[in-house]
């Protein structure tokens, strides 16, 4: 039996510039943070033919083509996994909440499959294999940040070159800054996201067509990501809160579907009455989790609870995808 654990993520800055429709022309830059909410993948041999897959649904397929779940199907096909396996996926947070679950799922499944075959792999390999499935084989209009931060863990800077290569470096912040940053961030669940595919498809199309508003918006987001890096590495966590607000305003302007009336109301409430200095909606589906920077956790928690939304406490993860159990 193999069990892997792979973190979900929050985007700190530069989100959207990790799509090839943008970085292939201008280069991209993203800061991501892995958090201690995980997807667990278990693989076990069975005595019966076929692929037994258990996630939010249960499948028993006798060939790759019979598998309904596209991520399972294409990654099993890519690795030529033989039958007589049972694979179970369990998550701390459900899919569709804007925390990069599909990328984490693929990285965790890839790690489990290679451990099952006794093949050593590193974080770069896991990220690239997950990207191969989601972006190349399934042609989803997604970026690369989710797969990389899930594989590497930590708080990482991802630099995207126009030739498609990616340079991963840690965000170099002092331990005291890390603690201050963690203590100043709070996350609240505001509902399941709509699929981000339509929004990302719109960004892809407009970027490829050279839409001025979209391109200038992504230029701004990339530059702000670089400024966030400078601020955090200098220990200026308060400035980070203000830049989160700038980022959110620009992100909302990229597409009408980036937010909703409910999200806008909660965001304004958090800033005017909850003491939040800035925030953003994590993910691209118009709902999910609101992430705020605040200097008064109790005040913000009280206001959000009264508004009917609940906090999800979190910390940062520095392990990335790991094999937790290997037996048999």
**Tens of pLDDT along 94-117?**
888 889 999 999 999 999 999 999
Phi, psi (rounded to 5 degrees) for 83: -70, -175
The number of residues in the chain equals 328
Structure confidence at residue 3 (pLDDT): 98
Is residue 271 over pLDDT 90?
A: yes
Q: Provide the pLDDT confidence category of residue 210 given band limits of 50, 70 and 90.
A: confident
Cβ neighbours for 46, distance < 8 A, ≥ 6 positions apart: 52, 84, 85, 86
Q: Provide the pLDDT confidence category of residue 257 given band limits of 50, 70 and 90.
A: low
Is residue 284 over pLDDT 70?
A: no
Tell me the pLDDT tens digit for each residue of 287-318.
789 999 999 999 999 999 999 999 999 999 99
Tell me the pLDDT tens digit for each residue of 161-193.
999 999 999 999 999 999 999 999 999 998 876
Is residue 77 over pLDDT 60?
A: yes
What's the CA gap between 159 and 169, in Å, rounded?
8
**Residue 291 burial (10 A CB sphere; 0-12, 13-18, 19+):** buried
Q: Are 301 and 311 in contact (CB under 8 A)?
A: yes
Cβ neighbours for 261, distance < 8 A, ≥ 6 positions apart: none
Q: What is the mean pLDDT of residues 30-56?
A: 96
Structure confidence at residue 214 (pLDDT): 86
pTM value is 0.94
Q: Provide the pLDDT confidence category of residue 203 given band limits of 50, 70 and 90.
A: confident
Structure confidence at residue 207 (pLDDT): 77
Tell me the pLDDT tens digit for each residue of 135-166.
999 999 889 999 999 999 999 999 999 999 99
Q: Provide the pLDDT confidence category of residue 327 given band limits of 50, 70 and 90.
A: confident
What share of the chain has pLDDT > 70, as a percent? 94
Structure confidence at residue 147 (pLDDT): 98
Structure confidence at residue 237 (pLDDT): 94
Q: What is the mean pLDDT of residues 321-328?
A: 90
**Nearest CA among 31, 81, 32, 73 for reference residue 55:** 73
**Nearest CA among 290, 295, 271 for reference residue 280:** 290
Phi, psi (rounded to 5 degrees) for 51: -110, 115
Q: What is the mean pLDDT of residues 70-77?
A: 98
Q: What is the mean pLDDT of residues 22-49?
A: 96
Q: Provide the pLDDT confidence category of residue 285 given band limits of 50, 70 and 90.
A: low
What share of the chain has pLDDT > 90, as a percent? 79
Structure confidence at residue 127 (pLDDT): 98
Q: Provide the pLDDT confidence category of residue 321 given band limits of 50, 70 and 90.
A: very high
Q: What is the mean pLDDT of residues 128-137?
A: 97
Give the orientation angle of helix 101-116 with respect to helix 123-131, to 10 degrees: 120
Structure confidence at residue 45 (pLDDT): 94
Mean pLDDT of the chain: 92
138 vs 39, 72, 74, 132, 220, CA distance in Å? 21, 11, 8, 8, 30
Q: Are 2 and 326 in contact (CB under 8 A)?
A: yes
What's the CA gap between 326 and 1, in Å, rounded?
6
Q: Provide the pLDDT confidence category of residue 206 given band limits of 50, 70 and 90.
A: confident
């Amino acid at each position: 039996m193999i069990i892997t654990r792979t973190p979900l993520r929050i985007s700190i800055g530069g989100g959207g510039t990790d799509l090839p429709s943008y970085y292939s022309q201008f280069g991209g830059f993203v800061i991501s943070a892995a958090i201690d909410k995980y997807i667990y993948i278990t693989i076990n041999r069975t005595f019966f033919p076929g692929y037994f897959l258990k996630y939010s649904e249960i499948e028993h397929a006798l060939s790759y083509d019979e598998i309904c779940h596209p991520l399972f199907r294409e990654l099993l096909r890519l690795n030529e996994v033989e039958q007589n396996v049972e694979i179970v996926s369990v998550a701390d947070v459900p899919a569709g909440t804007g925390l990069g679950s599909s990328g984490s799922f693929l990285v965790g499944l890839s790690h489990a499959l290679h451990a099952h075959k006794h093949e050593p792999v590193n974080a770069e390999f896991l990220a690239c294999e997950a990207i191969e499935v989601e972006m190349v084989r399934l042609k989803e209009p997604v970026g690369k940040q989710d797969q990389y931060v899930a594989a590497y863990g930590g708080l990482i800077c991802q630099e995207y070159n126009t030739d498609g290569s990616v340079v991963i470096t840690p965000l170099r912040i002092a331990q005291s800054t890390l603690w201050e940053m963690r203590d100043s961030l709070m996350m609240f669940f505001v509902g399941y996201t709509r699929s981000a595919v339509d929004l990302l498809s719109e960004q892809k199309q407009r970027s490829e067509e050279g839409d001025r508003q979209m391109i200038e918006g992504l230029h701004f987001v990339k530059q702000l990501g670089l400024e966030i890096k400078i601020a955090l590495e200098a220990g200026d966590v308060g400035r980070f809160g203000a830049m989160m607000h700038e980022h959110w305003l620009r992100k909302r302007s990229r597409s009408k579907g980036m937010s909703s009336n409910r999200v806008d109301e909660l965001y304004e409430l958090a800033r005017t009455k909850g003491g939040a200095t800035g925030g953003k909606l994590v993910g691209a589906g118009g709902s999910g989790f609101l992430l705020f920077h605040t200097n008064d956790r109790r005040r913000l928690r009280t206001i959000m609870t009264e508004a009917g939304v609940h906090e999800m406490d979190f910390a940062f993860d520095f392990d990335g995808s790991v094999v937790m159990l290997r037996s048999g």
